[in-house]
Amino acid sequence: MKLEFKNLKDLLIFNIKYYRYLKNISQERLAESCSLSSRYITDIERGIHCPTINKIELIAKVLEIEPYILFQNPLRDKNIIEKINNTRQYNQK
């Protein structure tokens, strides 16, 4: 499934969430593994904060992907996208 994004920030935000779901990692576990607060990870995924390059590298390492992957828009697993859409706790923007 191919998705469209308005800008690079939206792509980054979606990819962090997508790969987190793909690896079955909670926001809390991702935050703990990156030595960040879970609130910060939540705010990234909601588009409130944009992580620095250093934090992008940390997040990618925990997600076991190369950082540049977070800036690519490949075909996606439809099941993961449905899972993301069905478990949203907040309206994004």
Residue-wise pLDDT for 47-83, tens only, equals: 999 999 999 999 999 999 999 999 999 888 898 888 8
What's the Cα-to-Cα distance from 55 to each of 62, 73, 74, rounded to whole Å? 11, 20, 22
Residue 35 lies in a domain: yes
* Domain count for the chain: 1
Residue 12 lies in a domain: yes
Q: How many Cβ atoms sit within 10 Å of the Cβ of residue 44?
A: 23
Helix, strand, coil percent content, the chain, rounded in steps of 5:
60, 0, 40
Confidence (pTM): 0.86
Q: Residue 66: which domain range? A: 8-86
Query: How far is C-alpha 77 from the chain's CA centre?
Result: 15
Q: Is 91's pLDDT higher than 70? A: no
Residue 77 lies in a domain: yes
Residue 60 sits in a domain whose CATH number is 1.10.260.40
Residue 55 lies in a domain: yes
